[in-house]
Amino acid sequence: MQEFNTAIKEVVEDEKFTQFKVDGREMKAYAPDDGQLAMLLATIGRGSSDQDKVAGLINFFCAVLDDEDATYIEVRLLDRKDPFKLDEVEKIMEWLVEEWGGRPTQPLSVSTPSQESGGPNSTQRTPESNSSDSLLTGS
């Protein structure tokens, strides 16, 4: 019988987190690992019901939070009189995804720059080509 064992990993004390506040309470959210992302994608996929998608989002949100913060969110969501609802979870998750994804300071170039023109065109322009060019460029 095949057995699978996970390697023992040292707990990282300096794990990076993102801080935010909910109604004055400071909270910590840790960047998700591959397994958490896979579970989120599985629960919000095309074949999932709306209820499964909502449950998946809330489970994911609570899983990336500090344990005490996750409990705080769960208690608030379960309190029918509390104004903290799914809309707030969605707003926080959108913000966290932006934070985790980072914002590049310079746009990434996916193509090499064009070579500058150093000489005449290889084909001669005709009157017909000039008129069709004006239709494309509006001139």
How far is it, in rounded angstroms, from Cα 20 to Cα 73? 13
Tokens (6 digits) for 42: 């599985």
pTM here is: 0.63
Per-residue pLDDT of the chain (139 residues; tens, 9 = 90+): 988 777 766 655 567 899 999 999 999 999 998 889 899 889 888 889 999 999 999 999 999 999 999 999 999 999 999 999 999 999 999 999 899 887 544 444 444 455 555 556 555 655 554 544 444 444 4
Give residue limits of the domains in the chain. Answer: 17-101
- Are the C-beta atoms of 93 and 27 separated by less than 8 Å? no
